[in-house]
Amino acid sequence: MRIHTRFAMRVLLALDVPRRLQRLLDMNQRLPDFANTPSDLKVDKPFTVSNPESVSIGNHVRLGPGCVFRPVRKYPGQWLSDDTGEQDQQVFDPTLRVGNGVVATAHLQIFVQSEVDIEDDVMFASNVFINDATHGYATAEIPYKEQLLANIRPIRIGAGSWIGQNVVILPGVDIGELSIVGANSVVAHDVPARSIVAGAPARIIKTWDVDEQSWTPVGGGLHRERLNYSLSVREGPSL
């Protein structure tokens, strides 16, 4: 039996089967045609993207495994359609822009019905969720998945910002450049540039003092231990 196995392996190697299979796998995992042609883009699999023609990605971007980019052109889509033809339909023209040098550790999920703009050098920890719309809840008489999407407003994340682990960013939010969003935060309101926010909903904890070149506590000043916990400093090396 061992002789047959060794012989089969020699035949496969002689025919270069492993390399050919790998080439076939690579062809099946090619990145889609985005709205532009980024250079030095590195994406770990799995990676899921819908309507890639609505996605622009900058140069030198790094996306860890499990990232999902979903510009939504029609709602409900096939996933939630009841096949009766009686559901109301929404049609969108979404735009997702990812700037140069953006880094995401893993499982960055972005859903776009209007516009999401991620500026240069933004850093994402794992499991960040961004959506510029919400499911409708105008009535409690029918399932929410059958109601039209609502509260559709653009989102911007300013250059150089750091978004911590498990953060949720809601519709209409504008995050200023070089800001920090602490882990497990829910961002429902705008974040000023060079500020640190944390909590659910996220509130300003510190702002950058240009004259002192240091972070200044605001809102009564939270304890340093709470700030360090919110920022989850242990996740730094994973980026």
Which of 124, 121, 31, 105 minimizes the C-alpha distance to 65? 105
| Backbone φ and ψ of 130, nearest 5° | -130, 130
Question: Annotated catalytic sites, by residue?
Answer: 135
Quote the CA–CA distance of 112 and 1 in Å, as a whole number: 57
Task: Find all residues with CB under 8 Å of 155, minimum gap 6, and list them.
Answer: 115, 116, 117, 130, 132, 169, 171, 172, 173, 174
- At residue 15, the 3 state secondary structure works out as coil
- At residue 121, the 3 state secondary structure works out as coil
